Amino acid sequence: MEARSRGAAPETAAPPGSAPARRRADAERNIEAILEAALVCFGRGPSASMTEIARTAGVGRVTLYGHFPSREALLDAVVERSLASANAALDDLDVDSGPPDEALRRLIASSWRIVDRHRSLLAAALEHLGSDRVREQHASVMSRVERLIARGQAAGVFATDVPLDWLVTTFYTLTHAAAQAADDGRLTPETAPAVLTQTLLRALTSRD
Amino acid sequence: MEARSRGAAPETAAPPGSAPARRRADAERNIEAILEAALVCFGRGPSASMTEIARTAGVGRVTLYGHFPSREALLDAVVERSLASANAALDDLDVDSGPPDEALRRLIASSWRIVDRHRSLLAAALEHLGSDRVREQHASVMSRVERLIARGQAAGVFATDVPLDWLVTTFYTLTHAAAQAADDGRLTPETAPAVLTQTLLRALTSRD
DNA sequence: ACTAACTCGTACATAGCTGTTCGAGTTAGT
DNA sequence: ACTAACTCGAACAGCTATGTACGAGTTAGT
């Protein structure tokens, strides 16, 4: 699992605490291309092959293995990258101020495209990485939604007669479903966010 | 694709209009076992192998191929069987009378176990059969939900500012999510139906 | 300009799955 | 009891994927 003699990159995963593992610009660029290709390919189907990914990235298969020792490692990395990008996109958004329902509207508007882009990756990750690992990776982005909903519950806007956890699940699930529906043409890309928002607000809001 | 000389069963799929294809009780029993095993195996993961399924069914691999000429055919058959069983279970239920929200409660209570049992199969079917075929197979059971929701819309109980299609999707999606959550221990099997019902009623009901 | 890092194609070993064939044994039905 | 239906294991061919090894070429950085 760690026997690279002369082939490609000297370091695959940056040692957590250590130096940032200086790589040549060349390599860095290829790694980017590979991750992007992996996102596309896994998006098309959970059973994308390394060959297919390498070809999509415009890179030799050997180079791919040089950077990612195994299929599993690649999938893990691409998921992590996606989550990081999602986190970055959500950092601009202030979820902790203003009325919870308004904040939810903003969150949906932002999450929308992100989820749409990474939705299909989830299936692949679930199949090959296990739901524990996936859930663990999602924790940081998940906490945003959780915090918002909890705040809404405390403010009496969101329902408290169902578990917070379940409301978070509802958020994710319906967002995924809306993205899928838009892909299938059952929802137009323009109306989808509005429809989703409407349904989600109803689902989360306590009635009285 | 149709060259069975002497090996196993003489007929795999019963010709639609023709005779019911009399099979020996022996074969019938094995087919049942195979379908059941396939349900279990595909449930564990979308990439279950024929070998694995045959072993689970307690049957030789050759016998399996004797009854189902290909992996795809088997998957198709097991999906169809599942849908048929779902339809049968739902036949007892009268969805077309009484207040729509009450009917929805009943529908959820019944659908619950069914979806839980067949949920994982869906992923496999989607991957290997394509979403068109799956949607086509689901049409009959889907129509029940659609009819109920449409009735609720007409009665002014359910929301009309979002497409009917989307409400049906919402129903299925959240039901699946609840089943998954119960599997993962994030929802207890006892409270899950109630929680799901609560959320679904909120999501579908028009507020005024 | 020099070197280490990096990439490439080809090829190999291994393994798994699919679908089929053969031949011989077992079982159900009449 | 007889036969057709059915089942079984073993073995084969073809394909595809994974991960490794080699050797030679290209590129980035100093």
What residue of A is the nearest CA neighbor of B120?
Answer: A127
Segment B11-57, tens digit of pLDDT: 444 444 445 567 899 999 999 999 999 999 999 989 999 999 999 99
Per 3-state DSSP, what percentage of chain A is helix, strand, and coil (rounded to 5)? 70, 0, 30
Residue whose CA lies closest to nucleotide C6 C1': A8
Alpha-carbon distance of A103 to A149, in angstroms, equals 10
Residues touching nucleic chain C (CB < 7 Å): A 6-10, 23-24, 26-27, 30, 58-63, 66-67; B 1, 3-7, 24-26, 49-52, 61-62, 65, 69-72
3-state helix, strand, coil in chain B (%, to 5): 70, 0, 30
Average pLDDT over residues A137-158: 95
What pLDDT was estimated at residue B8?
A: 47
pTM for this predicted structure: 0.86
Q: Which of B149, B166, B200 to mutate to test the interface with A (most CBs of A within 10 A)?
A: B166
Question: What residues of B are in contact with residue A178 (Cβ under 8 Å)?
Answer: 166
For residue B20, give the amino acid letter. Answer: P
State which of A128-142, A180-194, B48-62, B82-96 shows the largest mean pLDDT: B48-62
pLDDT at A208: 64
Mean pLDDT of chain A: 89
A92 in reach of chain B (CB within 8 A): no
Interface check B161 vs A, CB under 8 A = yes
Q: Is the pLDDT of residue A19 over 90?
A: no
Distance from C-alpha of A103 to C-alpha of A98, rounded to nearest angstrom? 6
pLDDT of residue B182: 92
Gap from B171 CA to D20 C1', Å: 50
Predicted confidence pLDDT, tens digits, chain B (208 residues) = 333 334 444 444 444 444 556 789 999 999 999 999 999 999 998 999 999 999 999 999 999 999 999 999 999 999 999 999 999 999 989 899 999 999 999 999 999 889 888 988 998 999 899 888 999 999 999 999 999 999 999 999 999 999 999 999 999 999 999 999 998 899 999 999 999 999 999 999 987 6
DSSP for B46-64 reads TT--HHHHHHHHT--HHHH
Nucleotides of D under 7 A from a protein CB: 5-11, 16-24, 27-29
What is the structure's pLDDT at A21? 66
A2 touches chain B (CB under 8 A): no
Q: What is the pLDDT of residue A84?
A: 94
pLDDT at residue A120, as a whole number: 86
Chain B neighbors of A198, CB-CB under 8 A: 159, 161-162
Give B26→chain A minimum CA distance, Å. Answer: 36
In chain A, which residues have their Cβ closer than 8 Å to the Cβ of B167?
A: 199
Q: Compute the radius of gyration of chain B from its Cα atoms.
A: 20
DSSP state, residue A205: B
- Model pLDDT, residue A53: 98
Residue with tokens 């998921």: A79
What is the predicted pLDDT for the residue at B116?
85
Chain C positions within 7 A of any protein Cβ atom are 5-11, 16-24, 27-29
> What whole-number distance in Å separates Cα of residue B113 and Cα of residue A121?
28
Pair B108, B197: CB distance under 8 Å: yes
- Reported as a single tens digit per residue, the pLDDT across A88-109 is 999 989 889 999 999 999 999 9
